[in-house]
Structure formats: structure tokens, C-alpha cells
Structure 1
Amino acid sequence: MKRYFKHEGESNLGLGMVYLEFDDNRASRQVEIYGDKWFISNESYHPETGGLSLCDQPLSELDLGEEHEISKNDFDNIWNQALKNIR
């Protein structure tokens, strides 16, 4: 079963938002946004620019609760925006 999450993230670019799709306990797609910088990753998509490493921790080990959960539609909208913004 797929589940979708949104939470605050921090990197050397500052504070941002992280969007994760999990298929059972394993991450399958991920988007990170820091200001006007967008990054995307999934199992089969690793471009030279705009790519990031997919979260390697299982969902069961992350501190993500119901308050972080979003709908599939919300995640897909962000995913599609990210695809446009990294090209």
C-alpha cells in the first residue's frame, strides 16, 4: 500500500519541504524543495542535475505520523511540478 508524506527538511540550502511516497515500508519517490531549488528522485530517475538520493530508511524508522500524511493527489501534483521545474 502506498502512503504519502510532507515534512519540513533542512539542508545546506536552508529550510525546505520534503515530500515522500512509500510503497509499504520503502521509499519509491521523493521531492525536496528549498526556495527556488527543486530536487527529485525515484528508483529509475537519476538525472545529472536535479537529482537526489532516495531516502534509504524504512518508513517504520522515520518520525512521520498522521500529521505529515498527505493525499496521493497532493503528492502527484508536487511530483509533476517538480518534473517541470528541474528540466
Structure 2
Amino acid sequence: MPFLERQWLKVVLMCEKEYYYYGNSEFMTGLGVIYTEFTGQRASRQINVLNGHSYASSCLQDYVPEVGFLLYDGRKDELDLSDSIKISQEEFERIWAQAVASGQNDT
């Protein structure tokens, strides 16, 4: 990819708005909660909380048998977020830091 195209792509990605949501979710082995950061229409980071364990991910390939894949791979506008709660970036960052620091992430 030529230099100017790479620079243009960086600018486009930097201009996309970020959204943060919290909601209940049914995992493969039970009920839990999900915190998701969307950059534009794509999930960029996600914290899955199940049975007191937090699984933080920013990679589509991350997988834990009890939870499944850890990062949503569809578009935000394909989800029904009507039962989800919008949260602030600060709240998401706090929960992300706790999840990463907990060391319970088995990915």
C-alpha cells in the first residue's frame, strides 16, 4: 500500500467515533455481562465477565471454551442494543484495566 494511502487510512480510523456499551449476555456456559468498545461500526475491545472471571480481548481470534469468541465480529448496526446501556469511555477504561490486571484472561 502506498504511503499516502496508508496515511489516509490512519486519518479515517482516527476520526471514527467510539461508543461504549454494557449489557447482559448469554454465554456458552451461563449468563454474564459484556462491555464493548466500538470504533465506528466495529468492536475494537470487549470485556466478557462470567462467573467472576473477566476476559478482555481486542483480537477476533481470542477464544475461551466457557465463553466462546471474546470479540464481536459483526457490525454495531447489526446488533439490537436496546437493552444495553451506554457507558462512558472512563468507565470502560476502568473496567478494562481491572480485567487486564486481574490475570484471569486465559487467552
- TM (norm. structure 2) is 0.68
Higher strand share: 1
How many equivalent residue pairs? Answer: 85
Which of structure 1's runs of 4+ aligned residues deviate more than 3 A? none
Query: How many angstroms apart in 1 are the aligned matches of 2:20 and 2:77?
Result: 13
**Identity of counterpart residues, as a percentage?**
33
Gaps of 5+ in 2: 1-16
Q: In terms of Rg, which structure is larger?
A: 2
Query: How many angstroms apart in 2 are the aligned matches of 1:36 and 1:20?
Result: 18
Gaps of 5+ in 1: none
Secondary structure of the structure 2 residue equivalent to 1:63:
coil
For residues 47-69 of structure 1, the C-alpha deviation after alignment (integer angstroms, 9 at most, x for no partner) is: x9xxx432101000001148521
Higher helix share: 2
CA RMSD of aligned residues (A): 2.6
Structure possessing the higher relative contact order (Cα contacts under 8 Å, 6 or more residues apart): 1
